[in-house]
Amino acid sequence: MSSPAPLTEEIVRLVQRGDLQNVVKWLGNGGLVDALYSYGDASNFGGLLHDAAGWGQLEMVRELLKRGASVDLPSSVDSTALMDAAYRGHPSVMLVLLQYSASIDLQTSHGFTALMYAASSGQEACVQALLRAKANTEL
């Protein structure tokens, strides 16, 4: 059995840029859809779905989810792809994540939710989308 294709900084940049063709090629060569990468120091990590969601790469998000990405996979700071999309103002990405059963009221270890991230960063369209999706306003 061969080892998975390594997750490199270049693959992360491809995800951020939305280069679907090359990311699909990497996945086809054994790349893991839930592979994590370190940034800053070794205690900080995130996943491909986090980056795709945070950078608003809608088609990349769809492809990663279609290939089995864990929709609620936490980063090193407990954020999820839904939280990243909410914070960075990508309501269409949020709706796709919710269609794949992202936990709308999941909380970080500090109690933050996607709704709180959207509100704190002034992302009105994301706040409205989360409220329409029945995000809990009492957390």
To the nearest whole number, what is the mean pLDDT of the chain? 92
Q: CA–CA separation, 5 vs 101, rounded Å?
A: 28
Q: Residue 2 above 70 pLDDT?
A: no
What is the structure's pLDDT at 1? 46
Q: CA–CA separation, 126 vs 133, rounded Å?
A: 10
CB 73 within 8 A of CB 108: no
Q: CA–CA separation, 62 vs 60, rounded Å?
A: 5
**For the chain, what percent of residues have pLDDT higher than 70?**
94
- The residue written with tokens 């704190």 in the block is 120
Give the residue from 109, 97, 110 showing the smallest Cα distance to 47: 97
Query: What average pLDDT does range 132-137 have in this prediction?
Result: 97
What is the structure's pLDDT at 129? 97
Tokens encoding 87: 């914070």
